Amino acid sequence: MSTAAFPQNYTLAVFDLQSPPTGTSTSIGAEPVVVVTNTHKTANTFLLDNPPGAYTAMRTFDRLGIMDFSGHVARLASSLSQIHFPESDRETGKELEDQVVRDGLAPFRDPITLKRTVTDVVQKVLRAYFGGKDKREGSEAKVTVLCTWNVKRDRAALEARLSKDTNEALLLDEASQNVYEGLSSNFFAFDKQSQSVVTAPLNSVLQGTILKVVLAVCEKQKIPIEFKFPNLKEIDHWEGAFITSTSRLVLPIETIVLPDGSKKTFENSPAIELIRSQVLQECQRRVEALLTAQELK
pLDDT above 60: residue 93: no
CA–CA distance, 68 with 74 (Å, rounded to integer): 10
Across the chain, mean pLDDT equals 81
Residues 6+ apart with CB under 8 A from 249: 210, 276, 279, 280, 283
Position 157 confidence tier, pLDDT thresholds 50, 70, 90: low
In this prediction, residue 245 carries a pLDDT of 93
For the entire predicted model, the pTM comes to: 0.61
Lowest-confidence pick of 28-37, 49-58, 96-105: 28-37
pLDDT digits (tens, 9 = 90+) for 47-77: 777 766 788 889 999 889 998 999 999 999 9
pLDDT above 90: residue 230: yes
- Can you give the residue ranges of every domain in the chain? 2-153, 160-285
In this prediction, residue 146 carries a pLDDT of 83
Lowest-confidence pick of 116-120, 161-165, 277-281: 161-165
Residues 6+ apart with CB under 8 A from 246: 56, 57, 58, 59, 142, 208, 209, 210
Q: How far is CA 153 from CA 35, 51, 170, 242, in A?
A: 26, 7, 18, 27
pLDDT digits (tens, 9 = 90+) for 186-211: 999 999 999 999 999 998 888 889 99
Position 148 confidence tier, pLDDT thresholds 50, 70, 90: low
CA dihedral 202, 205, 210, 216 (to 10 degrees): -10
In this prediction, residue 28 carries a pLDDT of 43
Asked whether the beta carbons of 201 and 211 are under 8 A apart, the reply is no
Position 163 confidence tier, pLDDT thresholds 50, 70, 90: confident
* CATH number for domain 160-285, candidates 3.40.50.970, 3.30.70.1150, 3.20.10.10, 3.30.420.40: 3.20.10.10
**Count of other CB atoms within 10 angstroms of residue 26:** 18
Amino acid at 188: F
In this prediction, residue 39 carries a pLDDT of 76
